[in-house]
Amino acid sequence: MIKIGDKVPAMKLMVATSDGPREADTAELFGPGKVVLFATPGAFTPTCSAKHLPGFVQHQAELKAKGVDRIVCMAVNDAFVLGAWAKEQKAGDGIIMLADGSGMFTKALGLELDLTARGLGIRSQRFALVAVDGVVTHLAVEEPGGFDVSRAEAVLEAL
């Protein structure tokens, strides 16, 4: 599992934009500046839709005020699903919707979660991390079924 002091893995993924999916390089996305990444097990899933993403939408200005340059929401879903989710959640342009469709980035982070028995396949654990210039400075991984340390409010407290 990735840990504090590690560099965020470099690879190409897709992001959902208002103009449709576009390729993104994680080295650039997590490069210069301070980035908050929060990951959800899946778009449109109950806790993710009712609490996780809405918390970051609600607290965008406060995160930016604490020096955060980019806020990234990631799920093991495709960019079309993340685009629809962002629209439904009114996430706007302030949150980058990172689609890890095949789960390769999640696996590179060592934060995959096997939900095959529940019909969801391999997904991401629920977590939040802060990276400064591509290096992890804070990592908070939830216990299975938990929603505490990766909340927007918890990230604000950690900054």
Catalytically active residues are 48
In the numeric block, the tokens 């210039």 are attached to 133
**CA 7 vs CA 23, 34, 109: distances in Å:** 20, 13, 10
Q: What is the C-alpha separation between 51 and 59, in angstroms, rounded?
A: 12
Contact residues for 9 (Cβ-Cβ < 8 A; gap 6+): 2, 26, 105, 108, 109
Q: What is the C-alpha separation between 120 and 117, in angstroms, rounded?
A: 7
Which alpha helices (H) appear in 16-123, and where do they start and end? Answer: 26-29, 46-47, 53-58, 60-65, 79-88, 104-109
